[in-house]
Structure 1
Amino acid sequence: MPGKFASDDIVTALKAAAEPTRLRILMLLMAGELSVKDLTVILGQSQPRISRHLKLLAEAGLVERFREGSWAYFHVSDRSAGGKLAMDILSLVDPDDRGMARDRERAEALKREREASAQSYFQAHAADWDRIRALHVAERDVEAAIADALGAGPFSLLVDLGTGTGRVLELLSDRYDRGIGFDVNNAMLAYARSKLSGISLGRAQVRHGDLYALNLADGAADAVVMHQVLHFLSDPLQAIREAARVLAPGGRLLIVDFAPHDLEFLRDEYAHDRLGFPAGQVAAWMRDAGLSPQKQLDLAPTAAAGPEALTVSLWLAVRPPETNTKTTEKTARAARALEGAP
């Protein structure tokens, strides 16, 4: 729940919002994330002027800023008293206001341009993804298994690592109050952002981020999903440790990837660093990160799929109630020693 404002902070926030351009910016950012460049195009104002307005809004706590590569994106904060105040103020604005309606039209036009560009990228790579998807069980079966394994929630914050097209955030949109997807591919982020724009009040967001060093506080997430991500990573254990770090006590980590296989062309042509993972290896990594493995499931292809068909595996782990990371890691090491695990 957002906290309360001190009286001086209320005055600062109201002053920040009490300017025509800044009010227009707030209206636009409540509908979705935008960059400085986006806002200059929509509002027809210079970059320094827009940046100054955003600086004042951010200092007042009304908007949040995050980086995506060399760009910065902004949105109305939904986690702070300032964001709540901004939403309260904006609820008083006449939705039929001519100026605000014009801004929305320009924002929609910009969004359509962005979607067209992102769609072009997606189409250029669709054949690659289709070839890989054809190697394993139907995507609908994988998605059904993901939804079943993760559980109904609801989750205050769900994090999707290596979000790609944002499909996991879309699939699970009825199970979280807020969802954030991280990826390092800016073109994929653009596609995901356009695809997720219909989820109400910006509940689903995507950000540029390093899976080994997430810009999230310890224990911030109730659920973390890593869907077809580990096989691209040179250090899967470190990524799992980082996922565990951001999990709250009782939080869930769901990993979806391939079982071991020998399709070397995936390494050569599609940058797969690992050719699948043994079930025990991923479970051991989860324990190493202080998590408690709960479930492992294999989705094997049918015989008709051919000799190159891959098995998709799911692993679910829970972070124990204990919140002392060092203690949980020590306990995990002791458990592995007793079990003879690697």
Structure 2
Amino acid sequence: MPTDIAPLSQILGALEAAGEPTRLRLLALLAEAEITVSELVAILGQSQPRISRHLKLLAEAGLIDRHREGAWAFFHLAQSGAVAALARDILRRIDPSDPQFVSDRARLAEARRTRAEQAARYFAEQADNWNRIRSLHVPEEQLEAAIRDIVGKQEIRSVLDLGTGTGRMLELLAPRAERAVGVDLSTAMLAVARAGIDKAGLRNVQLRQGDIYALPVERDSYDLVLVHLVLHYLDDPLRALREAARTMRPGGRLIVVDFAPHSLEFLRTDHAHRRLGFSREEIEQMMRDVGLENVSYRSLTPRTRDPEKLTVSLWVARDPRIISDLVPATVSIA
């Protein structure tokens, strides 16, 4: 059966599940981001048992996806299939100025601001103290050597480092580039990065304060984009990768570095990690979803079998466009 059609019983079940005010509001919210039950309780102002019951009915109807990570469960609008397409179609037909949905979106924005503020406070408090996290995975020298190997010897015109943090990746790659830009939300982290860049004597680096979901940089302009140990802090990694892809020059490369799936719950509670790692398949699917071609994957596993140690994964994807894709048909290139 084609993926865009479904049995009558399934369609009727989805319509019945969606045809209730609270559940329709939940669908609209979950189309925006991955959200936990506790956040939905705060946004909608209803009890946890009631919200959990609504989520259960929506999941059983195939309208939303649920995945558990440690003690947390995340919900999001279903991404594929006829029922998911039906849900998106229903949501497209809702008046975006409806007062109820405007209010819900405002509360969601407040919840997301709270997340961002928590992460910013963490970065400000931890700006000079990364030793504990670094001790959990392979030595920094080994990870940096792997990144240098991936980058190779080809010319780099422009580098973009998203969530630049201490600026270490800029220090590593900027000497190879004509121009390098680092973006971070935290002014405290940008201060740390600026000190390191000044110390390294790098004059081709710019630092910008900005949101990874709305990057303050040019589109179609960077031939190397790096997202280094950042995605696990985000509530919507796919959205961040989509924004990263928009900055890439045709033929440009995206390097994602992050942890493989793990169970170190203290990283979430004590260090503001939103996600406990990513599988190879999860990131590769995200790459495809944002229009990139997967190129390579590798993992760096600590030699010890200590369960407290983390595996670091590195993904490389490429923008499949060619330069002519950005040039109007009426323009010729000599």
Partner of 1:10: none
Give, in whole Å, the separation in 1 of the partners of 2:191 and 2:267.
25
Contact between 2:251 and 2:321, CA under 8 Å: does it hold in 1?
yes
Counterpart residue type for residue 239 of structure 2: Q
Shift of 1:127: 7.4
Partner of 2:294: 293
Give, in whole Å, the separation in 2 of the partners of 1:190 and 1:123.
10
Secondary structure of the structure 2 residue equivalent to 1:294? strand
Q: 1:185 to 1:227 in 2, by over 3 A?
A: same
Aligned length: 205
Counterpart residue type for residue 159 of structure 1: L
Instruction: Please say if 1:203 is aligned against 2:228.
Output: no
Partner of 2:235: 234
Contact between 1:231 and 1:276, CA under 8 Å: does it hold in 2?
yes
Give, in whole Å, the separation in 2 of the partners of 1:163 and 1:201.
15
Q: 1:243 to 1:180 in 2, by over 3 A?
A: same
Q: 1:124 to 1:275 in 2, by over 3 A?
A: closer
Give, in whole Å, the separation in 1 of the partners of 2:225 and 2:233.
18
Contact between 1:260 and 1:276, CA under 8 Å: does it hold in 2?
yes
Secondary structure of the structure 1 residue equivalent to 2:294? strand
Counterpart residue type for residue 147 of structure 1: R
Query: What CA deviation, in whole Å up to 9, does each residue of 1:21-77 have, x standing for no partner?
Result: xxxxxxxxxxxxxxxxxxxxxxxxxxxxxxxxxxxxxxxxxxxxxxxxxxxxxxxxx
| Equivalence map 1:233-272=2 (5 Å) | 233-272=234-273
Give the gaps of 5 or more residues in structure 2.
Answer: 1-121, 326-334
Partner of 1:174: 175
Query: What CA deviation, in whole Å up to 9, does each residue of 1:241-299 have, x standing for no partner?
Result: 01100001110100000000000000000000000000011011011111001000010
Shift of 1:163: 0.3
Instruction: Please say if 1:183 is aligned against 2:179.
Output: no
Contact between 2:127 and 2:188, CA under 8 Å: does it hold in 1?
no
Q: 1:217 to 1:124 in 2, by over 3 A?
A: closer
Give, in whole Å, the separation in 2 of the partners of 1:135 and 1:201.
30
Partner of 2:283: 282
Structure 1: 4+ residue segments shifted above 6 A:
121-124
Give, in whole Å, the separation in 2 of the partners of 1:283 and 1:219.
21
Partner of 1:64: none
Give the gaps of 5 or more residues in structure 1.
Answer: 1-120, 326-342
Give, in whole Å, the separation in 2 of the partners of 1:279 and 1:295.
10
Shift of 1:198: 4.9
Q: 1:187 to 1:293 in 2, by over 3 A?
A: same
Counterpart residue type for residue 212 of structure 1: Y
Q: 1:151 to 1:297 in 2, by over 3 A?
A: same
Partner of 1:307: 307
Secondary structure of the structure 2 residue equivalent to 1:172? helix
Give, in whole Å, the separation in 2 of the partners of 1:122 and 1:237.
22
Secondary structure of the structure 2 residue equivalent to 1:178? strand
Query: What CA deviation, in whole Å up to 9, does each residue of 1:76-109 have, x standing for no partner?
Result: xxxxxxxxxxxxxxxxxxxxxxxxxxxxxxxxxx
Shift of 1:216: 2.0
Q: TM-score, normalised by structure 2?
A: 0.58
Partner of 1:218: 219
| Equivalence map 1:1-342=2 (5 Å) | 125=126, 128-198=129-199, 202-303=203-304, 306-322=306-322
Q: TM-score, normalised by structure 1?
A: 0.56
Q: Percent identity?
A: 50
Give, in whole Å, the separation in 1 of the partners of 2:190 and 2:178.
21
**Higher mean Cα deviation, 238-247 or 200-209?**
200-209
Counterpart residue type for residue 315 of structure 1: W
Give, in whole Å, the separation in 2 of the partners of 1:177 and 1:283.
29
Contact between 1:153 and 1:175, CA under 8 Å: does it hold in 2?
no
- Alpha carbon RMSD of aligned pairs, Å? 2.3
Query: What CA deviation, in whole Å up to 9, does each residue of 1:132-157 have, x standing for no partner?
Result: 11111111000001111122232111
